[in-house]
Each structure stands twice: as C-alpha cells, then as structure tokens.
Structure 1
Amino acid sequence: MQYPVNEIFQTIQGEGHFTGVAAIFLRLQGCPVGCSWCDTKHTWEVDPANQVAPQQVINVAQDQPHWAYWSTTALVDLLTGPQYQAKHIVITGGEPCLYDLTPLTQLFAERDVQCQIETSGCYPVLCDARTWVTVSPKLGMKGGLDIAAQALERANEIKHPVAKQSHIEQLDQLLAQTNNTPAVALQPISQQKRATQLCIDTCIERNWRLSVQLHKYLSID
C-alpha cells in the first residue's frame, strides 16, 4: 500500500483525548471536504506536479503542498525506528480516510504502537480494531459531503468544532443517529472567546471534555 504523505513530525498532541501526549504526526495529502477555517489547506490537492522524494516530507520547516508516496512498511520502519521516541502515531490530513488505513494501523499495532486517526467523518474509517478513531464532524462544508454512518459507529471520540450554539445542536442531531456512545470533546474554533465560553458551559452541563488546541496556545507544531 502506498500513501501520499504531506509531512511527518514529532510533537505533543494538542487536542482531544490524548492532549499532552508525545506523538508523531503522519499527515496525508488530499481532502475534498473544504472547511473554510482549515489551517492545512495546502493538503487539499494531490497534484502530481508537487510530488517529491520521500525524505523531503520529514520535519518540513513550513507548510507546503508537496507530497511523497510512502509504503506501509517504510512508514512503520521509520516511525518505530531510533529517529523517533514517541509511541503514539496520529494519522491526520488532509482527510486520511480517503485511504484504506488497515494495513498501516495493523502493522503499527503489531509493533505495540498506539495509532490515532483524526478524520472529518465524511468517509468510512478502514483501520485496525485497536486504533483510536477521533471523528471531528464537518457539516455544511464547501465540499457538500455528509457524515458517514460507519464513521460515527466506529468513533471512539467525537471532537466537535464549535463557534455558536447551532453547532451544539448539530452535534446533538448527529449523536441521535448512532447507537455508539463515544467520548465527546468540544473545540472552540480559532480560540474565539465567546466560542470558548460556550464550550466550557456546555462541557460542564453535559460532563463532556474541552479541547483547547493546546499546541496553538503554546505556539508549537
């Protein structure tokens, strides 16, 4: 299996259930969802003109639309090798669930490495059963995609971006569509003060978790 990789870097997970955990981020290229507030728009297009050599996507200094194909075994060998210390892999994008992540996550699990997928929920999640799936549902985006029922059923965690009360109501409607009972984290969009207070109040009321994008407050990747 070959995956189009935009970048690989090691840092601290700043969002959701694993906030504060040392993590290696594996960012895949390609996303048709079209979120207006997206901070990785450079990952949207898999343009053949931007294909580079595999080593050129490791520890990239700034956002680039370039990408490189990496095989399953090459990725696992690299990320479990001496170059990296973290034992938590975050597969993100772009939209990682454009691709079948089963062989990749299975191999990581066999090497006792925890995998987490961060997805919009617009595509079925294909991965190993031991993988933690974070669905950050993107509703009403430019791409016009619906949330996949399978993604909601597979989610271990719903990390919902919030700017106003209607976003809470949209989440309630989504949760009503599934028999799954994932953990829920509310994430204020762009650290807006009003959105943050709305998330705090709702998390207290419902015993949910607040996700504050710790990495942005700390000014780290």
Structure 2
Amino acid sequence: MSAVPAEEFVAELRALAPRYWDSHPFHLRMHAGQLSKHELQAWAANRWYYQRCIAQKDAAILSNCPLPEIRRQWRERIIWHDGTQPGEGGAENWIRLAEAVGLTREEVLDERHVLPGTRFAVDAYVNFARTQPWVVGIASGLTEMFSGALMRKRLAALREQYPWIAEEGFAYFTNRIQAVAGEGRATLDIVVEHSLTREQQLAAVAALSFKCDVLRAVLDAVDYYSGKGKP
C-alpha cells in the first residue's frame, strides 16, 4: 500500500490531540486549584515512575536503530533526562518537584507510592519501545507535539493555584518547555522521513495512540486512588 502524502500523514497524527492527557479530569482539577496536597503528592510520586523510565525507553529505541545519524540525535534525550553527572537532568528536577510538594527523596526513589496501574502502563511503554521497530518507537513519543502548550498552562496553574510550592520545584517544567518544541519538530521530521509505506504510517499513528493511552492510564490510576475517579 502506497504511503499517503506527508501533509495527510501529519494531519492523521495531529488528529490524536484530543486523546492527549491535557483533558483528563485529574489535570483539569489540578489546573483549577482543586487538588489537595495529598493528591499532588500522589501525582508527583507516580509521575516520577514515568520520568525515571523515559531514559530506558529512549535507550531501547536507540539500541534498535541501525542509523548512526539517528542514534547521535536520539542519545541527547537520554542525557537530558539522566544528566551527565549525579544531581543533574530532568529526572533529578522531577525529584525536586516531588520534594517541593512535601515528599522526601527517599520515598520517591523507593517508589512506595507508585500504584499498580501506573507501573503496569509505564512498563508496557518501555516494553513497546524494546520490541517495536525503531521508527514506531520514536513515533510513540510524538505526544511532544501536544505537550508544550500543556506544560506552559500547568506551570502557570501550579504557580497561581498552589503558591506554597517553592519556585525551585518548577525547574523540570521551565527547562522542559524550552526543549520540547525543538524535540517535537525533530521527532516528527524523523517519523515522516522514515515511514515509507502506508503500513509504516499506520503503525506510527497506532503508536502515538498507544502512548496517549499510557499517559491517561497513569492519571486514571492516580485519579481513582484519590477517590474522585470512577471504578
């Protein structure tokens, strides 16, 4: 089956925007200032598990990719999350946010608050990256196309609605907002260039849909745990 034109393919990917987790009830309550400190802690602790697995996911994609030019580009993502030395990187900044909402570093790192639903969804995502073709794995990360606006909105909401959170806790978002726009464009370019058949294009769309499901599953778990979600 012949591939559709790039513009049509990109439109199919962007059409998944309503499935992104920005419209999840938990995020809506967060932005409205309706979360308790306990709920923010549950969110931070569970989102930590996702954050700490991102570098593993990216390493799995890199290990499947035979193209050195793509590997050179993709390994920068691992460095962004892990840093080049202890105390640096996106994962470290997420721990600082968790501390700013009242958790200790110890309880974040030992994952005592990570819910089974969160663990199941995130582990499935890492396994997906390990077992799928590298282009499909990269396509799953195209949620970057949707995340920049959400991060800006969330950062503003957290500052306004939860003024007790120390400003140093927001380093993850302030740094990530700057990075995600460029990464999103680069990721889309890779997927469009290397999805050469219609089957590959459809696999990329399915991968992005799967990633949206993973993200929403994490929030479903936290939402249900908070007592405000539906069984």
TM range (shorter): under 0.3
Give the TM-score taking structure 1 as reference length: 0.26
Higher relative contact order (CA 8 A, sep 6+): 2
Larger helix proportion, structure 1 or 2?
Answer: 2
Give the TM-score taking structure 2 as reference length: 0.25
Radius of gyration: which is bigger?
2
Larger strand proportion, structure 1 or 2?
Answer: 1
